[in-house]
Amino acid sequence: MSDIELLIRNNHGKINIELIREYFKLFNREKDLEKILGEIKNA
């Protein structure tokens, strides 16, 4: 999971976050994505 988190952090402005959200949704990991996005926003 840390590799995905790093990719999201480093490319946050360049990636399609809705597509990433759908990916996390497939694996019932939406809360994990929200945590990552919250940490990026607060950084």
SS3 for 1-43, per residue? CHHHHHHHHHCCCCCCHHHHHHHHHHCCCHHHHHHHHHHHHHC
Which residues does 8 contact at the CB level (< 8 Å), separation at least 6?
15, 20, 33, 36, 37, 40
State residue 35's pLDDT score: 95
Q: How confident is the model at residue 28 (pLDDT cuts 50, 70, 90)?
A: very high
**Domain residue spans in the chain?**
2-42
Residue 1 has pLDDT above 90, yes or no: no
- Could you give the CA distance from residue 13 to residue 16 in angstroms, rounded to a whole number? 8
Mean pLDDT of 8-30: 94
Residue 43 has pLDDT above 80, yes or no: no
